[in-house]
Structure 1
Amino acid sequence: MRTKLYTILFLLAAVTVFGQQKQVQASIDSTKIKIGSQFNLTLKTKVDTAFRVSFPEGRSFGQLEVLESYPVDTIKDGAMYELVKKYGLTQFDSGRYIIPSLPVVINNKMIKTDSLRIEVNNIKVDTLKQKMYDIKPVLKGQSNTSFWLWILFAVVATGAAAYGLWRYLKNRKPAEPKAKKEEIISPIERASRELKELEKRELLEKGAVKDYYSQLTDIARTYIEEAIHVPAMESTTSELIDAMRDAVRKKKMNLSQETFEELEKILRTADMVKFAKSRPLDFEIAEDRKRVEKTIVVIDRSIPEEKEEDDIHTQLWLDAQAKKKAKRKKTIIILSSVAAILVAFGVSVYVFGMEYLRDNFIGHATKELLDGEWVKSEYGDPGVIIETPKVLKRSPLLAKMTQQNNPHVREASVFAYGSMTDNFYVTVSTTTYKDSVQIDLPATVELAMKSMEAQGATNILVKSEDFNTDKGISGIRAYGNMSMPDPVTKTPVRVYYELLFFKQKEGLQQVMIMHKEGDEYGTQILERIKNSVELKVN
């Protein structure tokens, strides 16, 4: 009985151990290398001889470059195969890197490997034999931005002034002698006068047949619009004839079918000349001129005397036409203004660039922080004195998480502005411990990286170095970049970060600053905050 019990316990233990074993094991032959040195990543799996296994391939794994992908070694062990896949990896920049989880496909089932860490160290240079020089500062080029800005301003101002003057001259009525009364002429008189003036221009002799027909039909259309109150100028030939028939019927005018046909024939000929580039013969042009004059006279004679109700109807029609013209005029002004703004904006983008306009006119989030009023204040205990664009607000939730994750913590305080997914993020945290705890700053950096990973950070590049404040307090500075998911699109956004850690007998002080990679204003804010850090020593 006891033998059977041992046998069952042994089998259960074997099953448990087997269940705990990773189906794919990942390992590296070194955890620290020099810049550019190669280290090997090994993936192992043990499978049935009938299984198909596919190992990952690529030019890079995360931030690490794949130098060589070695053939798979196969070791037969009874009915099983042990497959060993090796990769030669390297990195040409110092820092702490993460080899991400890699997918291995076994019989169409994807299995992820464990992620691993590798530290890439700088090669020390003997500065006693070779003198080192500081990096020269960036030289600012000469800019003539203000000159072009003044030119743009002058062009826009001149255009606006010219447009205003044109509108004024157009709308201004010429002054007439006081003794001379305004001459009031009827539509038929005006049309007859304009026909005589048209002949004096001698357009046909100059070969301007198109202009001649255009002005001839405009005279006829203007007369019809003023005399019969039909919107002739904005109507097509067919619309004008239909509107005239309707108006003639309402006014009970005695117009023959021949008159309509004559008028339509003239308008059709003018359309052919203007749009189809047709050219009538000289005698046809002369006949069209006579037709217009005759048609106007016939229409004028057929118009009955207007009664009082007709006068009211006429006034309403004139008011409606005035409103249409005013609306059309307003539309033209609005469209002209929009076009002028778009042209000015396009010229500005071409001359100055979109970035300059965004920073100086449209607005830039981090530039507004940089140019705003900064605040210098003390946070936490032991205190951190720091200057920031905005007042940092206490975050009880982050402080509570810090205390829950470490039982040795007596008190924790966290103050923050923004979040890790914003354009700019800064936090100050202070921690005091219950007992005398040996604080390992490099280990603290590792914990901070794990915390960032827990918040969604990927492809983290870490560099670290000693750091001293202006008053000589020593600490450690960790910096680099990482990818954070955009809160809306969920696409990865690359950000730059810096962490400052300082330890005291019973406390830890930490400052974290983060902004989107490539944001020059974010970089300036970071440097200003970092240079303002002061610590209160217990």
Structure 2
Amino acid sequence: MIDLIFKNKFYNSRSKKSSILLLVFYCLSCIAFAQSTPTVKSSVDSTSIKIGEQIHFTFEVAADTTAQVIFPDGQTFMPLEVVEALPTDTLINQDKFNLIKKYALTQFDSGTYTLPRQQVMINNKPYFTDSLQIEVRTVVVDTTKQKMYDIKGLAQVEKPMGDWWKWLLIGLLIAAIVGGLLYWFVFRSKPLTEDEKIALLPPYDRALAELKKLDESKYIIQSEYKEYYSELTNIVRSYLEEDVHISALESTTDELITKMEMLRDAGSLKIDEDTIKQFKNVLQTADLVKFAKSTPEEPIIDRDRKTIEQIVVKTKEALPEPTEEELMEQEEYVEAFKQKKKKQQIKYAIAAGVGVLLITFGVFVFKYGFSTVKDTVFGHATKSLLAQEWVGSAYGYPAIYLETPAVLKRDNEIPNSVEGTGTNTYQVFNYGNLWSNFYIEASVSTYKKEADFDAKKAIDAALEKVDEAGGKNMIVKQEELVTPTGKKGNKVFGTLEVVNPETNKTNERAYVILSFVQNGGFQQVIMVHDKDDAYAQQIVEKVTNSIDFKTGS
């Protein structure tokens, strides 16, 4: 009996302890559950705004400090537009933190809009906020007090310098080299060489100077007797031709002696028989040396040299005084010689200048290619577009960002192809025209809420628009596109024929149509250029690589 009572007390005590432990575990689990359950709240600072005003949408998240929280990214608040996503504020309270994330929203059309439920991911689990209604009111303008003005035109900015100064420096350098060559060979006053000084002397003085120069030669030392006698006889023959007017250079020895004797007998040349005989002996010796390879002795060579000088002197003395006409002829000869030398110098300078230009041209062709150098020297419209300072700008709303060779201007004319496509707003900006060297157009469309957007229909409308502008026989190819900035779109490209209304000529051109659906709008870029224009293709690639859709975040 005692054992039974003891056992009952033991079991009752044990049961009470188990109940207490279960109660403690239950409380701890409730506390742990309460700590691990995050909460998400949302609010707006106003539910009624004017067109273009901003409201702030706020998330308030309470979660453990170890929780991973991801807020919405991108245009998830449509039909309202995200202007800016503000940085996240964090408040830590013991083992929890409170996160506050704000978004600045706006809308440019009046009406009542429903903000959809927003999703916040916490530890890979979605939490949703309630939807909200926002009223966007129009701004009433009293036109009796405030006049309406036209939209201001594009502001003109100074065009950047670009790279033209590099080509200017190259041109100046080439001009300086050519000018230096002209100065050195043409305009510079240079001292005459010994031969040029001798050539400008009168025939008698020239003959004596040439004989003196022959004495300083190395013909005798080097046993070049044929060359020595050839030059010796040519000196006296040239003198006789110029001063005595005998065709001596082409005459044989006997013919020349006969002509001199005839002049002596006629009284035109007062020279004695002994001088003519000595001259004949020298000519005969020269003939033996030149044609029979005879080797004269040194005394004979000295005698013949002195004989030739005496013949020149005696012939000069035997001639009558030169007439005024002969003196004039001598002056004309000197002037003609100078002109001949001048022309020769000019030829050298021109040849040197052409050589410099050809070498420079060859270097540039080797480095940059023939087409690039040709287009740089003679000019190329699209190459100039590619080389000039480009402009980066955002166009339309929702905006598309482009970098282009020139600012695109707004075009207020809406083509027929756009009408009836369900567009709410349509904005277009362009540069050039369909038949110019390069044409580029950027357009942005938004669609009515009740209309279903059809991307294929919008692309077809763009092709129809090109057709309306004069494009015929279009070849159409299509592929997916991903820009370097990570934006996905559609690319339609091919060739077409365009009639230039100014020349009535048909040109084959290439076109590219890039289409995007971003930020609740439809953006398109159309580019048209000559089919085989490599510079235009570079422009297309550069514009495509610059495309972005900046919303601010």
Q: TM-score, normalised by structure 1?
A: 0.43
Q: TM-score, normalised by structure 2?
A: 0.42
Greater gyration radius: 2
